[in-house]
Amino acid sequence: MSQRTFSIIKPDAVRKGDTAAILAKISDAGFKLLAIKKIVLTKQQAEGFYYVHAERGFFGELTDFMSSGVIYPMVLEKDNAIADFRKLMGATNPAQAEEGTIRKQFASSIGENAIHGSDAEDTTAFEIGYFFAGYELK
């Protein structure tokens, strides 16, 4: 059964010029791109998106980073999309990520790890709704 997931190509990957290569890797893994946009988040928008981490020590650094440049939020679809995309992304720490994963290939650190992906159906629903209106999805 087809499932949707949400992802963001983060500012570090965009700055390094890795967007097209990351999108190709996602497509090659069988994901259908349903929606994508190019935006720059304000600090307040980044704080709203990452509100679940507000009490954590890295919150300020994370929201500064995510509002530091262009990002590409996107909606993807595939059978078992959430779990399959988490596997394709690789571990948050690129040093621990498996070979062939996006983070192993494109990330430089835990903080600048190239890509975000939803971790469950409820977070997917929130994250898609945060960036995309219903009419933008087909």
The domain spans of the chain are 2-133
Question: Which one-letter DSSP state was computed for residue 98?
Answer: P
Instruction: Please write the tens of the pLDDT for every residue from 71-102.
Output: 999 999 999 999 999 999 999 999 999 999 99
53 is catalytic: no
Q: Which CATH architecture has domain 2-133?
A: 2-Layer Sandwich (3.30)
- Reported as a single tens digit per residue, the pLDDT across 19-71 is 999 999 999 999 999 999 999 999 999 999 999 999 999 999 999 999 999 99
Query: For residues 57 and 47, what is the distance between their CA atoms, to the nearest angstrom?
Result: 13
Q: Is 17 exposed, middle or buried (0-12, 13-18, 19+ CB in 10 A)?
A: exposed
Question: Can you give the pLDDT at residue 124?
Answer: 98
Alpha helices in the chain (DSSP H): 11-15, 19-28, 43-49, 59-66, 81-89, 102-106, 121-131
State the catalytic residue, choosing from 116, 128, 131, 132: 116
* Residues 22/114, Cβ–Cβ less than 8 Å: yes
